[in-house]
């Protein structure tokens, strides 16, 4: 969500590049809303392959987050408690 940063959102205080090695390690999963089919997705290469639920178990769901949900997620993380949205997006 681009509107999360800038005049009406969070101030930009810096940025760091993501190394190619780190980027290559980033896999997410997607679930097709119609068929329910799961895929593993690597954003850096746009690679997408079919996957079983077990293969998606440790992966985060590829999603766009609203700023208020990012803040909720961070509050929960620092409080050491599970986030409802993260839990609802788990591969099932």
Of residues 36, 18, 22, 90, the one with CA closest to residue 58 = 90
- Please list the residues that pair with 86 across neighbouring strands: none
Count of H helices and E strands in the chain? 4, 4
| pLDDT at residue 81, rounded to an integer | 97
| Model confidence, pTM | 0.75
60-78 pLDDT, tens per residue? 999 889 999 999 999 999 9
Spatial distance between the Cα atoms of 62 and 50, rounded to a whole number of angstroms: 15
Domain-by-domain residue ranges, the chain? 2-10+25-88
User: Residue 46 pLDDT > 80, yes or no?
Assistant: no
5-41 pLDDT, tens per residue? 888 889 989 989 988 888 878 899 999 989 999 999 9
């Amino acid at each position: 969500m681009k509107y999360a940063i800038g005049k009406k959102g969070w101030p930009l205080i810096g940025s760091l590049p993501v190394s190619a090695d780190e980027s290559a390690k980033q896999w997410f999963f997607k679930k097709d809303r119609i068929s329910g089919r799961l895929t593993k997705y690597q954003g850096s290469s746009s690679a997408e392959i079919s996957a079983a639920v077990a293969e998606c178990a440790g992966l985060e769901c590829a999603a766009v987050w609203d700023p208020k949900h990012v803040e909720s997620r961070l509050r929960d993380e620092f409080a050491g408690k599970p986030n409802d949205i993260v839990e609802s997006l788990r591969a099932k």
